[in-house]
Structure 1
Amino acid sequence: MDELTRVRDWDTGAEGLSDQARAAARARLETAVAEESRGRTARTGGLNRRLMLRTALAGAVAASAGVAVVVTRDGDGHDRTTRLDTVSAAEVLRRAADRSRTANRDLPVPRDDQYFYTRTYVVQTYLKGGRTRTWTDESWTSVDGSKPSLRQENGKIHHDPPLGKHEVRWPPTVYSKLQQMPTDPDRLLDQFRHGMKSSPLNDVQAFFEGCMLLTEPRVLPPALQAAAFEALSKLPRIKLDYHDATVTGRRAVGVSHPKASFTFLFDRKTYDYLGLRTKGSSAKKVHGEWKQVNYYYKTTTLEDIQVVDRMGQHH
């Protein structure tokens, strides 16, 4: 924490993605999906590192386990407002979309030279032994990636350099680029699929893309978050996750995809977007091979997000 204390005193229009950059992003996603299907995410404790956001935090005035891609351009009660056994995963996402349209929007539109400050509460519970760890991570993320960022992940501090000359973030964090994204759910889903037809691989890639848009620190233009929920509601094979979860004292229901290791969590009554739960495992090397030791669930919840002028600042 000494380092965090010191950093508080530290003062501190690229083009759209080309076809080559989109191809690179797609290739990275395909690699990540393939690795997930082979169970390699156990070594990283959750989503493949290619998909882990540099800030590993929440966003879109929601919460996250943090994912992003940097690409190179060259149940038990009877009264739950609506009984969950009669509501599909698609309906939960549509109701979350309706809820997001009426949510308070008190964050200013960020300038490219500013930072997103985020404070995230994390709960990690092991399936064997019931051990639970809790901690809070703080991070400062450069809006356009042109400045260094400071990220706290699992309580450890990381200093991330600015993006390289030919690197871009996808999905974007710059507000003007987000404004160019479609708010029609069908068009947005087509973008999540990179213009490809529905298939098992393309659909799980679209689920990852939706997660990236909804969970990285950013301020979304009006209607974009709702469109993202509605786009994901159109994916086949999404399902309700009845694993009992409580997020900041609120009972949650999850929506997941069978090929993804993460679950979106929503309030069971209001359908507010509460956070993200990932399934991972601790591992150790035995005779040169990684062996899974114990599985756990990690739930991340955004406690605060602000737009600030410099690293180390928060109100």
Structure 2
Amino acid sequence: MDDLKILGEMRADAPTPDADRLGGVRRRVIRDGRRFALMPSMLIAAVAAVLVVAIALPMSRSTPEVPSTPPVRTVLLNSETVLEKAAKTVEKRSLAPEPRADQWVYTKSLDRQPSDGKTTVQEGWTRYDGKQTAGRDREGVFRISDVPPDPNDDDLSPQQYREKLLKLPTDPDKLLAHVQGDRHWIDYPKEEAQSGEDPDSRAYRILSLYLGQQAVMPPKLEAAIFRAMAKIPGVGIEQGVRDAAGRTGLGLFRPTKGEEGRRRYLILDPRTYRAMADQTIWLRDELINGEVAFRKGAVFADAELASGIVDKPGQVP
């Protein structure tokens, strides 16, 4: 079973360990795959930003048993209390200096597929100005690739992303109002009327995306994001959620209509409140075309293992 095709309706840019994937590390730097897709049903069908893929699922009489994430007892916390504590913690950070245009953003991640539990570790580098990416292809050859300008691509380079973040309001109410109407993060503007994404869902999706940008995140804005999150109905936090790398953290989530059989978490470090992983856990068996596609306990994950700024591709922090 081809996990990437099956997950096309959830996250069509699920990573593959090759030069094309590493050439798209720029998309990871702006986190999530083009949009950090904690989205409503239409956008989860398009998910993680511009993510629609028409798929034809193979019929199968048997589904392999999937090693699920080892059970951990989670505790539902008071989200307002936790988010305010997070805001008070992060606003004490100092603003990180801006990298030079010719420096590189390094990322290392662990990706896990839900149908067989297979995990892969990815490393990639992207120039801060977005003009080049680097990584190893399937044969292990290290390659540096140019990224030509694309007027139809609304993704942002790390440099452009920082510029956007610095312009956002740091008052929680103003920030919430801004993201509820920010058309930049509408995946299909021409189909907005049919998307069905309400303002609260869009706000949660965009703020979750922003929380994946701590490498360039202004502390006052990060604090405002947590406080704005606390104002969105339905946001929950579970303590003790384990990511695909075996780490436990705070699982931030918001139930999505039509997706009750699985839960998508943004997992935060319980001490620093930095994002550790984007992870979906199946709460029950999921049937597609009458066949079990994903077992209860299956995990689809993108866990960040390391990141930082370096002077040239191939270096690690």
TM-score, L = length of structure 2: 0.59
Residues 132-172 of structure 1, C-alpha deviation per residue, up to 9 Å, x if partnerless? 43332111123333x13246899999967334146443597
Higher normalized strand content (fraction of residues): 1
Give matches, 1:151-170, under 5 Å: 161-165=147-151, 167-169=153-155
Report the CA distance between 1:193 and its aligned residue: 0.7
Q: Hey, what does 1:137 align to over in structure 2?
A: 122
Secondary structure at the aligned position of 1:272 is classed as: coil
Q: Is the 8 A contact 2:27 2:155 kept in 1?
A: no
Q: Hey, what does 2:133 align to over in structure 1?
A: 149
Q: Hey, what does 1:111 align to over in structure 2?
A: 100
Gaps of 5+ in 1: 1-39, 78-83
1:141 aligned partner, one-letter code? T
Which of the numbers 74, 79, 83 marks the counterpart of 1:89?
79
Q: Which has the higher contact order (CA 8 A, sep 6+)?
A: 1
TM-score, L = length of structure 1: 0.60
Alpha-carbon RMSD: 4.5
Q: Hey, what does 1:276 align to over in structure 2?
A: 277
Give matches, 1:229-240, under 5 Å: 229-240=226-237
2:278 aligned partner, one-letter code? R
Secondary structure at the aligned position of 1:169 is classed as: coil
2:132 aligned partner, one-letter code? P
Report the CA distance between 1:236 and its aligned residue: 0.8
Residues 167-224 of structure 1, C-alpha deviation per residue, up to 9 Å, x if partnerless? 443597433332112122222211211169xx96221111221122222585122322
Q: Hey, what does 1:300 align to over in structure 2?
A: 302
Which of the numbers 158, 168, 187 marks the counterpart of 2:174?
187
Give matches, 1:211-230, under 5 Å: 211-215=208-212, 218-230=215-227
1:294 aligned partner, one-letter code? F
What is the percent sequence identity of the aligned residues? 22
Q: Hey, what does 1:44 align to over in structure 2?
A: 8
Residue 153 and residue 264 in structure 1: after superposition, are their counterparts in 2 closer, same or farther (change >3 A)?
farther
1:206 aligned partner, one-letter code? A
- More displaced, 185-194 or 112-121? 112-121
Q: Is the 8 A contact 1:137 1:153 kept in 2?
A: no
Report the CA distance between 1:314 and its aligned residue: 3.3
1:149 aligned partner, one-letter code? T
Partner Cα distance (1:45, 1:151) in 2: 27
Partner Cα distance (1:155, 1:190) in 2: 48
Residues 245-281 of structure 1, C-alpha deviation per residue, up to 9 Å, x if partnerless? 257554323121112763121345x363342333278
Partner Cα distance (1:290, 1:262) in 2: 23
Give matches, 1:2-151, under 5 Å: 42-44=6-8, 46-49=10-13, 54-55=24-25, 65-68=32-35, 76=73, 84-85=75-76, 87-102=77-92, 108-124=97-113, 132-145=117-130, 147-150=131-134
Residue 177 and residue 274 in structure 1: after superposition, are their counterparts in 2 closer, same or farther (change >3 A)?
closer
Gaps of 5+ in 2: 15-20, 36-48, 51-71, 184-195, 283-287
Q: Is the 8 A contact 1:278 1:297 kept in 2?
A: yes
1:137 aligned partner, one-letter code? Q
Q: Hey, what does 1:18 align to over in structure 2?
A: none
Secondary structure at the aligned position of 2:216 is classed as: coil
Residues 15-38 of structure 1, C-alpha deviation per residue, up to 9 Å, x if partnerless? xxxxxxxxxxxxxxxxxxxxxxxx
Partner Cα distance (1:138, 1:97) in 2: 30
The list of structure 1 runs, each at least 4 consecutive aligned residues, that deviate by more than 4 angstroms after superposition, is 56-60, 123-126, 151-160, 170-173, 241-244, 246-250, 289-292
Report the CA distance between 1:59 and its aligned residue: 5.5
The number of aligned residues is 246
- More displaced, 177-186 or 156-165? 156-165
Partner Cα distance (1:241, 1:155) in 2: 40
Q: Is the 8 A contact 1:119 1:137 kept in 2?
A: yes
Residue 243 and residue 176 in structure 1: after superposition, are their counterparts in 2 closer, same or farther (change >3 A)?
closer
Report the CA distance between 1:89 and its aligned residue: 2.4
Secondary structure at the aligned position of 1:265 is classed as: strand
